[in-house]
Structure 1
Amino acid sequence: MSIKQKIKHHLKLEANRGYAISTRHHIIFWTIYFIFNTIRWGSYYQDYWYSLKGNLLGFPIHIILCYFNIYFLMPRYIIQKKYVFYTLLLIASLFFMLLVKYYLTYFLISQNVWPEGPEETHNLTFNYGITMMLGELYVISFVTAIKITVDWLQEHRRVTDLEKTHLETELRLLRTQVSPHFFFNTLNNIYALTLEKSNKAPEIILKLSELMRYLLYETKKRKQSLSKEVICIQNYLDLERIRYGDSLNIEMTISGNMEGKRIAPMLLLTFIENCFKHGADKNLGNVTITIDFRIENSWLYFKVTNTMPGEQESSKDSPTSGGLGIANVKKRLELGYKPNEYDLKIYEHSNLYVVELAILLR
């Protein structure tokens, strides 16, 4: 099943639960409304039997008019913006139901068809007609408002679920870009060492297999243990130490409690990779990289700096301009965290490339 099919299937399932109106809901609504109306008018008339008979006659009319409006008139005319036709047909249906109610009341219940009126009414008068039509319009408006509210909630939930599904899909796609990007750089390192017939190649391959095991099996979740991420970074740094030897100086400090802290997988590793891409790979002398992890409460304050080469090849290769890795991290931060849950700064200072990230840990 493709991603698009999964999204459609997911939304179809959501439409069948949550805010969907079932037959049971219709029955419960009209039953409660009927009981309330019968008690209200029975108290007003001081005749509950008469109120029951009147509501038994009137409620089928209410139900027919309401459903005729929300399931026929509105979809055909309101949605199509045919407001004049809608208004005329609604008035016509109200008038038709007025005639039905008048004659049924007159012949089945009482010849005084308007007992709550100012005087006894035996004929179809103008005041009686206007009052009855306004009463029906009130019921229609009430039911229509409920239907519109439920439809809005359904649509809001559908859009929210679609955005959530799209977000999760995009995050998965972004994460799948990280591993090939990382492996591409590491395999390039191995290739260079094999050309030199270096004895370091087997050790690098062993370290790489450990990283591959972690990346393939431990990074599928949206959030991963911070301690495991740090171990992954340490393994990566070990690979680079083997490659560069004494020309590479790495200083890494960790402070605070990492227990129970979680972070998006392979988020920080990209910044470490960037130190080598724009620092060590272009620098002919010794390279110093400092990495600092500081955990305070639920926040991680991460800072990494590396010495930069003496001359930049071109402005587009400047580390602050980013590339696939940095652009990927920025996008993942935007999608996976709220704006107030992280703060990323990337800048150059005194021939140092500096990354500072403050991020809320789950």
Structure 2
Amino acid sequence: MLCVVLLLLSPLSWRMGEVELPTQFWAKQIFLVGILIAIFYSNASVLVPRVLLEGKNYIYLLGILIGAVLFYGLVVYFEQFIGYSKAMHDTFNPDRPWDPKKRWIPGDVFQVLLYVISIGLSTSVALVQKWQKDESLRRELDRQRVNTELSYLKAQINPHFFFNTLNNIYALTNLDVAKAQEALLKLSRMMRYVLYENQKNETLLSKEVRFIEDYIELMKMRLSSKVKLNIQIEEPKEDLIIAPMLLLPFLENCFKHGVSSQHESEILIKVEIMGDTLFFETKNHIFPINPDSPEAHESGIGLVNTQRRLSLIYPNKHRLKFGKDEAKQEYWVNLTINLS
């Protein structure tokens, strides 16, 4: 486009009166267009990637200077070959004698400037393309890293969930076989959710809420009358999307630490949806875990991984706060996620 404007269209606008430009002029213009295009793409596809981007800065600069000399020499040789100078002199100054040794300095400066512009533009284009390629590769590597890390984190959460749930059912078989069978039925429905939905990066919030409700119902079967459940779950009205099994570790934490066979306790689980925003809250008493239980040796792997998943999936779109109320011996969690 630059060649067309500068070398072809521009002369049409400044030719004087009825003076017709000679054929040699247009031959030189076409020659300049061809050689500048060759310079542009040679620099962009060869010199920049193979010399400049390899750190050979001085060799690249030397090549550009040598190219400038060769460019100027080719232009001068082509002008002499086609008789350009005499034709232009006869067109614009027919009443003056022609001196073959005299050159038009502004024209030579303009031609060298065209060479410099071609080199500068092609270098810029090549560097931008290299940056775009590197940025695309970096994003692809980041995406693969995030997907790999998320798969690893979910793989850690799933065995953790099944370990706790199967332990609960195993304990229930000694007390009530019918309830144990009912628990297995609920667990099979939950396993179906885990197998089919957890393999995806996202699922419907309505399915996640049903999974939570099944989990709570499963936990109820092993709770005594000393545990009071305060469940406030709002059914989603819109087809909102959420990462699967994202809330499970918080529920596990409630039932793992907030249940005692000797003391009164209360567990609060609240799910509220306002527009595209999910509000999730849990609160439970804190009781010491049996030191002989395998859970006593865990280090909150589910909660740690969920924090990491939230930071990866919902960066700058979630707020997670949790803490311990020493006075009431309660642990609380407040999670807000923008699901838009």
User: Do they fold alike, i.e. is TM over 0.5?
Assistant: yes
Aligned mates of 2:246, 2:284 — CA distance in 1: 18
* 1:342 maps to 2:290: no
Q: Contact 1:288 / 1:307 at 8 angstroms: preserved in 2?
A: yes
* Structure 1 runs, 4 residues or longer, greater than 6 Å off: 310-313
One-letter amino acid of the structure 1 residue matched with residue 9 of structure 2: I
* 1:212 maps to 2:191: yes
Instruction: Specify which of 101, 124, 127 is matched with residue 148 of structure 1.
Output: 127
List per-residue Cα deviations over 1:311-344 (Å, max 9, x = no partner).
Answer: 997xxx99xx9611001110110000122x1111
Q: Contact 1:347 / 1:355 at 8 angstroms: preserved in 2?
A: yes
Give 1 or 2 for the bigger CA radius of gyration.
Answer: 2
Instruction: Specify which of 45, 59, 69 is matched with residue 71 of structure 1.
Output: 45
Match of 1:42 in 2: 12
Structural mapping, 1:126-137, within 5 Å: 127=105, 130-137=109-116
Structural mapping, 1:292-331, within 5 Å: 292-309=270-287, 323-331=300-308
Q: How has the CA–CA distance of structure 1 residues 52 and 181 changed in structure 2, closer, same or farther, with 3 Å as cutoff? A: farther
List per-residue Cα deviations over 1:207-259 (Å, max 9, x = no partner).
Answer: 11111011111233322222221211111111111122433321111347532
Aligned mates of 1:121, 1:186 — CA distance in 2: 101
Unaligned runs of 5+ in 1: 1-31
Aligned mates of 1:121, 1:355 — CA distance in 2: 92
User: Equivalent residue of 1:290, what SS?
Assistant: strand
Q: How has the CA–CA distance of structure 1 residues 229 and 162 changed in structure 2, closer, same or farther, with 3 Å as cutoff? A: same
Q: Contact 1:293 / 1:302 at 8 angstroms: preserved in 2?
A: yes
List per-residue Cα deviations over 1:133-171 (Å, max 9, x = no partner).
Answer: 232111221222223223322322222233223223322
Aligned mates of 2:73, 2:47 — CA distance in 1: 20
Deviation at 1:63, TM superposition (A): 2.5
User: Equivalent residue of 1:302, what SS?
Assistant: strand
User: What fraction of aligned residue pairs are identical, expressed as a percent?
Assistant: 31
One-letter amino acid of the structure 1 residue matched with residue 4 of structure 2: I
Instruction: Specify which of 253, 256, 260 is matched with residue 274 of structure 1.
Output: 253
Deviation at 1:58, TM superposition (A): 1.1
TM-score normalised to structure 2 length: 0.83
The alignment yields a C-alpha RMSD, in angstroms, of: 3.2
One-letter amino acid of the structure 1 residue matched with residue 201 of structure 2: R
List per-residue Cα deviations over 1:2-22 (Å, max 9, x = no partner).
Answer: xxxxxxxxxxxxxxxxxxxxx
Aligned mates of 1:260, 1:237 — CA distance in 2: 23
Match of 2:137 in 1: 158
Aligned mates of 1:96, 1:170 — CA distance in 2: 55
Unaligned runs of 5+ in 2: none
Aligned mates of 1:303, 1:154 — CA distance in 2: 44
Match of 2:333 in 1: 355
TM-score normalised to structure 1 length: 0.78
One-letter amino acid of the structure 2 residue matched with residue 210 of structure 1: R
List per-residue Cα deviations over 1:30-75 (Å, max 9, x = no partner).
Answer: xx44432311123234556555322211122212322332333323
